Amino acid sequence: MGDRERNKKRLLELLQAAGTGNGHCADCGAAGPACPCTLVQSLSSSAEILLFHPADPDWASYKLGVFICLHCSGVHRNFPDISKVKSVRLDFWDDSMVEFMTHNGNLSVKAKFEARVPTFYYVPQASDCLVLKEQWIRAKYERQEFMAEKAVSPPGDREGFLWKRGRDNSQFLRRRFVLLSREGLLKYYTKEEGKTPKAIINIKDLNATFQTEKIGHPHGLQITYRKEGQTRNLFVYHDSGKEIVDWFNALRAARLQYLKLAFPDLPESELVPLITRNYLKQGFMEKTGPKHREPFKKRWFALDPQERRLLYYKNPLDAFEQGQVFLGSNEQGYEVWEGLPQGIRGNRWKVGLTVITPERKFVFTCPTEKEQREWLESLRGVLSSPLSPLHLLTTSAKSG
Ligand SMILES: [Zn+2]
């Protein structure tokens, strides 16, 4: 066996070595390197690996000593002074590089660069948008924000300009936003030097979620809050990825601060999932009315798993929802069925689902079978989870 082959074999063994964390991307947790087919392939020759995995190479930073996925390797390329990447399977690795990877590895490098990640900081996963992953990777290695010797100061108050989509037109306009962390308020102003805010948003009712596809901007952030029993949506972005992610984490810090005051007896680990939330599923479906004889109309749906609401809109970027379906639990008689009730047919779309609540049956049709499957799975997930005492507490506080 030549050096080249021997080193490749050693690297592949390192990817699966127990207790190293190398089987998951060091930055987004993607399980690429540890996928079962890789496991099988590692037993055979590397020639076969190249044959079976031509488009899915695993990557590593040989300057930092971590194994990462293809997507994260793209971010690492932006700061070559700190990180240099190679493909595990396709590039040449010399002995000293393999030695370095053996002595480092994902868990030990994580202990160094993630020594002090603040509780409120959003650590992205593989399914998150690029700007979140990019800023996490840069904060970690390039700016080294989370190393043990770094003094951590909570973000606190924040002020700056964001591009905000107009409520009644699709134009984005520059608006001044002010976050008052201690007061638990976010304000925004239409006039640059204005004294009267256009809106004062209570942190208690606020959620923030990156919605880059829906907003049509790689840094698009959706901020929601309760207003007169409805959910108001704001769509904003900043040209700088760092700025928008800093805003997001500042809002999260303020949310955690509020949650700690509101629920002083709960451990922090139970509050963290409540800081912000992402929709479990979004997309177009068609719905009919309560009699099921009304014409089916196309609506945009968003499933909020924490508030257990299926919200629907005429258009994805509407300021307010048109309506919502509260999703209780199976024990309370809520269910979702595959298909439409007998005798009911959709308009354009054939496949569908029926949500049963104590009050009525909601009938929806989906554009494809794949969409139908995903909606069924997501809705079942919410309905099968019991209402937690905390959920009852937070929703009753919100719908007041
Ligand atoms: Zn990754």
pLDDT for 34 equals 42
Distance 71 CA to ligand 1 centre (A): 6
d(CA 76, CA 62): 11
Distance 188 CA to ligand 1 centre (A): 35
Distance 75 CA to ligand 1 centre (A): 9
Distance 317 CA to ligand 1 centre (A): 30
Distance 236 CA to ligand 1 centre (A): 26
173-179: long-range pairs with CB below 8 Å, 24+? 175/236, 177/236, 177/247, 179/247, 179/250, 179/251, 179/254
In terms of DSSP bridges, do strands 281-287 and 361-365 run parallel, antiparallel, or are they unpaired? antiparallel
d(CA 388, CA 382): 12
- What is the chain's pLDDT, residue by residue, as a tens digit (400 residues)? 678 889 999 999 999 888 999 999 999 999 864 444 444 444 444 444 443 443 345 899 999 999 999 999 999 999 999 999 999 988 999 999 999 999 999 999 999 999 999 999 999 999 999 999 999 999 999 999 999 887 777 778 999 999 999 988 889 999 999 999 999 999 999 977 778 999 999 999 999 999 999 999 999 999 999 988 889 999 999 999 999 999 999 999 999 999 999 999 999 999 999 999 999 999 999 999 999 999 999 999 999 999 999 999 999 999 999 999 999 999 999 999 999 999 999 989 999 999 999 999 999 999 999 999 999 999 999 999 998 766 666 554 444 3
pLDDT for 331 equals 93
Distance 68 CA to ligand 1 centre (A): 5
Distance 62 CA to ligand 1 centre (A): 15
Distance 24 CA to ligand 1 centre (A): 8
Given a contact cutoff of 8 angstroms between Cβ atoms, the answer to whether 89 and 2 are in contact is: no
Examine domains 158-271 and 281-398 and report if their fold is the same: yes
**Which tokens is 120 given?**
């409120």
Distance 126 CA to ligand 1 centre (A): 6
10-16: long-range pairs with CB below 8 Å, 24+? 10/98, 10/102, 11/60, 11/88, 11/93, 11/98, 11/101, 12/38, 12/42, 12/46, 12/49, 12/88, 13/42, 14/67, 14/98, 14/101, 14/102, 14/105, 15/42, 15/58, 15/67, 15/88, 16/42
Q: What is the 8-class DSSP label of residue 332? A: G
Burial of 277 (0-12, 13-18, 19+ CB in 10 A): middle
Given a contact cutoff of 8 angstroms between Cβ atoms, the answer to whether 185 and 257 are in contact is: no
Given a contact cutoff of 8 angstroms between Cβ atoms, the answer to whether 69 and 85 are in contact is: no
Distance 209 CA to ligand 1 centre (A): 20
pLDDT for 154 equals 74
Distance 113 CA to ligand 1 centre (A): 16
pLDDT for 168 equals 83
Distance 213 CA to ligand 1 centre (A): 20
Nearest in space to 100 (alpha carbons), one of 86, 113, 120: 86
Instruction: State the SS3 of 149-212.
Output: CCCCCCCCCEEEEEEEECCCCCCEEEEEEEEECCCCEEEEECCCCCCCCCEEEEHHHCEEEECH
HSE at residue 141, side-chain half, CA atoms within 13 A, is: 25
Distance 137 CA to ligand 1 centre (A): 9
pLDDT for 149 equals 84
Q: Where are the domains of the chain?
A: 3-142, 158-271, 281-398
User: pLDDT tens digits, residue range 129-174?
Assistant: 999 999 999 999 999 999 988 777 777 899 999 999 998 888 999 9
DSSP codes joined into one string, 85-109: EEETTTS---HHHHHHHHHS-HHHH
Of 3.90.1170.50, 3.40.50.300, 2.30.29.30, 3.40.470.10, which CATH number belongs to 158-271?
A: 2.30.29.30
- Locus of tokens 């990777």: 137
- Locus of tokens 């009699």: 291
pLDDT for 57 equals 54
Gyration radius (Cα) of the chain, Å: 24
pLDDT for 391 equals 66
CATH topology of domain 3-142: Annexin V; domain 1 (1.10.220)
Distance 30 CA to ligand 1 centre (A): 5
Distance 284 CA to ligand 1 centre (A): 29
d(CA 149, CA 248): 24
Distance 20 CA to ligand 1 centre (A): 16
Distance 206 CA to ligand 1 centre (A): 29
Collapsing DSSP to helix, strand or coil, 38 comes out as: helix
In CATH, the architecture of 281-398 is Roll (2.30)
Given a contact cutoff of 8 angstroms between Cβ atoms, the answer to whether 351 and 344 are in contact is: no
- Tally of CB atoms within 10 A around 5: 12
- Tally of CB atoms within 10 A around 283: 16
Given a contact cutoff of 8 angstroms between Cβ atoms, the answer to whether 206 and 227 are in contact is: no
pLDDT for 41 equals 43
Distance 69 CA to ligand 1 centre (A): 4
User: pLDDT tens digits, residue range 335-344?
Assistant: 999 999 999 9
Distance 38 CA to ligand 1 centre (A): 17
Q: How many helices (H) and strands (E) does the chain have?
A: 12, 17
pTM above 0.75, yes or no: yes
Distance 25 CA to ligand 1 centre (A): 5
